[in-house]
Amino acid sequence: MDVEQPDERPDERPGRWPGALGAAAAAFRDRRYEPVARLLARAVPTDVLFFVDTAAPAVALTFDDGPHPDTTPALLDVLAAHRAPATFFLVGERAAGQDQLLRRIAADGHELGNHLMRDHPSIRLPAGRFRAELDEVTALLRPHGPVRFFRPGSGWFSPRMLADARERGLRCVLGTVVVENGPDADPVQLARWLLEQARPGLIAVLHEGTPGRRDVATTTDHLLRGLHAAGLRPVTVSQLLHLRR
């Protein structure tokens, strides 16, 4: 969910909340996610989810950009070892033809989310293409389980995108903290940084889906060990919403 500047076409700009979204972009760059996420939650529509106000000792783990045979199986093994459910925001072109992985994600008790067809900024899509991709990915995933949420590529959204998703029964989930696994990132340090931010209601965003992100399994293993030691329980986004005050 890397934050990129959207195109300057009038119908694709962030719309009514340019100040809020600009603050979000700055926060993502400076790794100051949690305070700004809470600010944005008050500044933008209630159908955009950044965190959940709860007293329950629970956090939601979400994974973007899969599935991929080089990352998803090992990640699922780690989650299974910790008995930790998660929400997977899946890219349609990567999910196509990966029925075995999709079945395993669902069978292991994880939640399926719509991350559109390709790993690119969703806000740059023309309106008709955006709607078509939402429908294509939901149709691809729904045989394996319910699809309740979507996450726009690169994190930018517009009022029109939210309305189109709402018509399809999909709620936009961004998140509270974001890390990007990759060959230049220390997977253990990423886990430690996430643990520093962890508190009830947090939605963590991690990334898989490419061979260069194999270390996401290591990050997740260390993260889950730390959450357990801190008395925090990993849940899906839907489960976290059920724990709202």
What does the pLDDT profile of the chain (245 residues) look like in tens digits?
Answer: 443 333 333 333 333 333 344 444 444 434 444 555 555 555 555 679 999 999 999 999 999 999 999 999 999 999 999 999 999 999 999 999 999 999 999 999 999 999 999 999 999 999 999 999 999 999 999 999 999 999 999 888 999 999 999 999 999 999 999 999 888 899 999 999 999 999 999 999 999 999 999 999 999 999 999 999 999 999 999 999 999 98
The predicted structure's pLDDT at residue 47 = 78
H-run or E-run covering 207: strand 203-207
Neighbours of 139 (CB within 10 A): 11
Domain extents for the chain?
Answer: 52-242
Is 64 an active-site residue? yes
Superfamily of domain 52-242: Glycoside hydrolase/deacetylase (3.20.20.370)
Is 99 an active-site residue? no
- Tell how far CA 127 is from the center of its chain: 22
From 68, 110, 144, 207, the catalytic residue:
207
pTM confidence score: 0.84
What are residue 205's phi and psi, to 5 degrees? Answer: -115, 115
